[in-house]
Amino acid sequence: MLITRYVVDSADTERISESKEELFELLEKPVLAGIPLLVLGNKNDLPDALSVDKVIDDMYVSSGFPR
C-alpha cells in the first residue's frame, strides 16, 4: 500500500507556515491524488515544540487540503 509521509519539525515554530505551503504544493501533484497522507510531528519531545493539536491547526491537517 502506498502512503505519503510528511514530517513536520514541530519545534521550528517560525517555519511552520513554510512547511504548510510545501505540503500543499506536494498535494497538488496529480500523482499523489488518492494516496493516503500521514503527517508526523518530529521533535515533539522538545520543551518549545508545538502540541499535536497546534500542529493540526497550523497545518490544516483536519481540513482544507487541496485534494
pLDDT (tens digit, 9 = 90+) per residue, 1-15? 789 899 999 999 899
Taking the C-alpha atoms of residue 20 and residue 39, their distance in angstroms, rounded to an integer, is 11
* Amino acid 66: pLDDT: 53
How far apart are the C-alpha atoms of 44 and 25, rounded to whole Å? 24
Pure H helices in 2-47:
16-27
For the chain, the structural domain boundaries read 4-59
DSSP label of 44:
T
% of the chain exceeding 90 in pLDDT: 37
Question: What is the reported pLDDT for 67?
Answer: 46
CA distance 49 to 63: 22
Rounded to whole angstroms, how far apart are CA atoms 14 and 33? 29
